[in-house]
Structure 1
Amino acid sequence: MRDTDLPIRCSTLRGLSALFTESGGSGPELLAAYGFDEASIAEGESFVSLRLAVRVLEEAADRFALPDLGLRLAAQEDLHVLGPLAIAMENSRTIGEAVEYASRYLFVYSPALSLEETDDPLGIPGVAGLRYAGTTVNASPQAIDYGIGIVHRVLKLISGDTPYGLRSVLLPHAPLAPESSYREYFGAAVRFDAPSAVLRVPGHLFSTPVSGGSDLLRDIAVDHLETHFGHQHVPMAGLVAAILDEHLGSRDPDLSAVARLLSLHPRSLQRCLSREGTTFSGVVDRVRKSKALDLITTTDLSFSQIATRLGMHEQSSLTRAVRRWFGSSPSRLRREGQQLEGRSALID
């Protein structure tokens, strides 16, 4: 799979429509031209290819004469654009711990992005670097501005929405907008045409406490991230399962439809799943199995209603599937549901 085919959450594009409208255009119409709708962007769980997201940013910046589009978009975001990672970060004990979680789990937001603590590129004692990068060889300048702008925004938020001592910013491209726009956004000097995108910060920043956090919320969030994404690779099967879980029942599970949601060719999606040791039908079966067990044992829905929710046309299809999955009929499974132990073991 090409780097630009890697998925990124649609929430990346939140706020674009409003920015387009402010600039005299029709935000919804432009997004629709790229195959987006505001509802899918707002709900935040859908994915799009990095290639398409970058194309929207670059072409929209040019079309609406918004050279600082990446920075403007970043300015509208808050920490919770990062989902469960946000909970772990804002409840971290120190800023360093929050950065560590971002470095470890940013791929959940998009496997195309990375953040790492580095030595100061300028070699100044007492200064450290936070390097933001994408996986593409020719990274989009607007995407870089947006990404490192988000990192800056997050650091401010977990610092109590106050300055955190940013010394300067290094960017690997020429200025897209007047340099004053960059200085105003970051509140620090900005150097361009650098080898990589880096926030230069005080070395002691990483030991600075994050106030107001909850150890319990942090532990829950980290446990969730580690359980679901601790394998540290592109979670394609997980992304497909999440899409199926959301849409199952509204239509028949369809490889082409899921591939479109990920902006991938169906054959590319099949190859990705094959590399993870599974198939599209295999993911469908696992999602149905998990959902069937939950609906049968924890609800009073009729079996025909459950079959419909699983995208099955007939109750008999549910009966055959339940016998294959659990060696039992749906009615017996429901009767014995309260006595089942190790429910997760049945799903695995």
Structure 2
Amino acid sequence: MAWDDLHDPNNQEPPRNPRGNPPGGGSGGGGGGTGGGPQFEIPQFKVPKLKGSSVTFVILFLLALWILPSVAYFVEQGEEGVVVRFGKYVRSAQPGPHLKLPSPIEHVYTPNVDRVRVTEIGFRKTRSGQIKDFPNESLMLTGDQNIVDIDLVVQWKINDAKNFLFNVHEPTKAVHNAAETTLRGIIGQHIIDNVLTTGRTDIQIQLKKSMQDLLDTYNAGIEITQTQLKDVDPPAQVVAAFNDVTSAKEDKERMIHEAEGYRNAIIPEARGKAAQVVRKAEAYNQEVIKKAEGDVSRFLQQYQEYKKAPEITRKRIYLETMEEVFPNVNKFVVPEKGGGVLPILPLNNSLNDSLTGTQGRK
């Protein structure tokens, strides 16, 4: 449509300039007469005339705005930039702003190397917080042919972004497989009592080292920061039997401790009594020795006297011996001369009867 066709043909006013003013000057008025249509006023503007250098500048500026997002990039704190050119690694970049060749020549990956990732073995925690068990992962065979149900949590992070991106196809799955395989091998070296009780710390330490060694052989760029045996239990079907066994073992340990306590209490007492008996025996030994030595000395003295006067010495010894013997034996007096039935005078019985009668009269 031409600019002069914007007026109403029935209007008696001269046609309006498309710039907004009537041809004769002055301001435009409203439409008059019957059947007149609305009038349009188009503002005046001028298209700037650009020189050749200005056009080039504008083109370059627009081109820079289009290219800049593909050549400039920023690596956040905790990340490591990995730049590839046509899919091949060329360099790494630390946190901060950097430049690269535009895509698709160069591309940059920025994995987070500070974030600690978690891999779960034997269970999974859902978004709602519920725990879902995976028996095919958690049931393991011990060294004494028993089955144990183990839930494991492995914490790990990236320690080499280049190796992490290019040497392992699925790093998370690699950590999961390494954890399950290594744990099964270690559990197979321990008896179930050790796994359920005192051996858990040693198993965790051994598991962490073995997993790290295995991943390092593949240059996976992964560092194992912690391994934790979350739950270690016998299978649900035999929990009652295991509890009975555990209770019996606890009773055994209690009785052993009680016996050791009794032993620790009785042994010092017995040793004290034994020492006392030894001391008495040693004292008796010294007493006997001194007495024997005295008897020997006395015998030698008597022997010297005996050699001087044998008859007198023999009689004195005889009388002294009788003095020691007579008070402790029954005595019967028999006359040297007598006929027929020899009268026997039981002095002891007579003496006892005499004493009994005297006491009765009193």
The TM-score range, normalised by the shorter chain, is: under 0.3
Structure having the higher strand fraction is: 2
TM-score by length of 2: 0.17
Q: Which has the larger radius of gyration?
A: 2
More helix by share: 1
TM-score, normalised with respect to structure 1: 0.18
